[in-house]
Amino acid sequence: MPALSDFPSEFNYTSYAQEIIFAPGSLVRLSEAMERFGWKRPMLITNRSMRTGGHAASLEAILGGHLVAAFDQVHPHVQDVQVEEALTLAKGSDADVIIGMGGGSPIGMAKAVASGLEETYAATPTDQPIVSVIAIPTTYAGSEMTAVYGVTHTHETPPRKVTFSDPKIAPKLVIYDPQLTIDLPPEMTASTGINALAHCIEALYSIKRHPISTAAAISGVRHIHNALMRCYINGDDLEARTEMLLGAHLAGLSLASVTMGLHHGLCHVLGGTANVPHGIANSIILPHAMRFNAESTALQLLPAAEALGISVNGVGPVGVIHAAADRIYDLVGQMNLPQRLRDAGVKEADLANLAQLGFKNRTIQNNPRPIKDATQLERLLREAW
């Protein structure tokens, strides 16, 4: 376990007033929870797979006709044009709560719409209360626990993903129903699972880490390590799905109150500009980011390496972290995910520009190992290419 010296001598963090309901079959508790909060006019934001898979219909049946609007065509990376479309629908229906159901993009769009409604009501004062967010995650992306969302500006050349943070848009209610993850395809299981693992890694070495984030991250790594491959091999394993969703919850919790660094900053650039799916970007970049930061973060990451089954005896801390990065790289390959940026459609000619965009990213500037110029990022991207 980390020693007291591994933490900053001072720390502060913001926690959010959230109700968490975690249980197989817990989706049926949605109406009761909404009644308790006093929400009467819900709007659903989801994607096509939730509609075709029947989960959206299940939610609509549970709400019994109280749903005032639905936007079920969310694309990856929360595109600005779709945010505007969904926001117009929310305004027209007088929604008082936005339900994001699915992975990180539907939940992120729910946050963006709630934020847009708040700006509208602040500009034209009315009796409208602050519009809250309900998150019902069906992947392991972790957006349900954070007050952060990103929007891709599609009209810029190249497109650019911009992140926003606002404590008021952290979901007030989160329903974790492992049964909703049973039909998650193997690739999405694998990529969003690595995304959850990356949340834990960045939380452990964040410059804003604190005892609660560290405890949640270490536990998250342990559960993810126990469950992810089992879920990938047999998606019907409800016990494994339940443990994996618990790991993802702890991962999101660990990252919610700390500052992200190099890893997530690069993943946002790769997603918004190169259109690499967020989970795939995480899977490719995570081992390289761990190696890049190893000299500065080895002591903080030792518990994660141990939870991944790496022996911490007889090898220096930096060597242990390199071994943990190798273990994750191998896991990515075993789950048939891309291990190189070239395999995800990134062109070598674009690496320099991606590095420049990354250098301007404020998240990357919060990395524990200082990023002094874009060439550091370009070298990392070339190693990953």
- Structural domains of the chain sorted by starting position, each given as residue range(s) with its CATH number in brackets: 19-181 (3.40.50.1970), 185-384 (1.20.1090.10)
pLDDT number for residue 205: 95
pLDDT number for residue 161: 78
The amino acid at residue 274 is A
Residues 6+ away with beta carbon under 8 Å from 182: 235, 236, 238, 241
In angstroms, rounded to a whole number, what is the distance separating the alpha carbons of residues 282 and 263?
8
In angstroms, rounded to a whole number, what is the distance separating the alpha carbons of residues 69 and 95?
8
Give the torsion sign (CA, 312, 314, 318, 324). negative
Q: Are 222 and 307 in contact (CB under 8 A)?
A: yes
Answer whether 0.95 is exceeded by the pTM: no
DSSP conformational letter for 29? G
Q: From first to last of its 385 residues, what are the pLDDT tens digits of the chain?
A: 455 445 566 788 888 889 999 999 999 999 999 999 999 999 999 999 999 999 999 999 999 889 999 999 999 888 899 999 999 999 999 999 999 999 999 999 999 999 998 877 666 655 555 789 999 999 999 999 999 888 888 888 777 778 888 888 899 999 999 999 999 999 999 999 999 999 999 999 999 999 999 999 999 999 999 999 999 999 999 999 999 999 999 999 999 989 999 999 899 889 888 889 999 999 999 999 999 999 999 999 999 999 999 988 777 999 999 999 999 999 999 999 999 999 999 999 999 999 999 898 888 889 999 999 999 999 999 999 9
Residues 6+ away with beta carbon under 8 Å from 163: 148, 149, 150, 268, 363
Distances (CA, A) of 339 to 130, 184, 383: 43, 21, 11
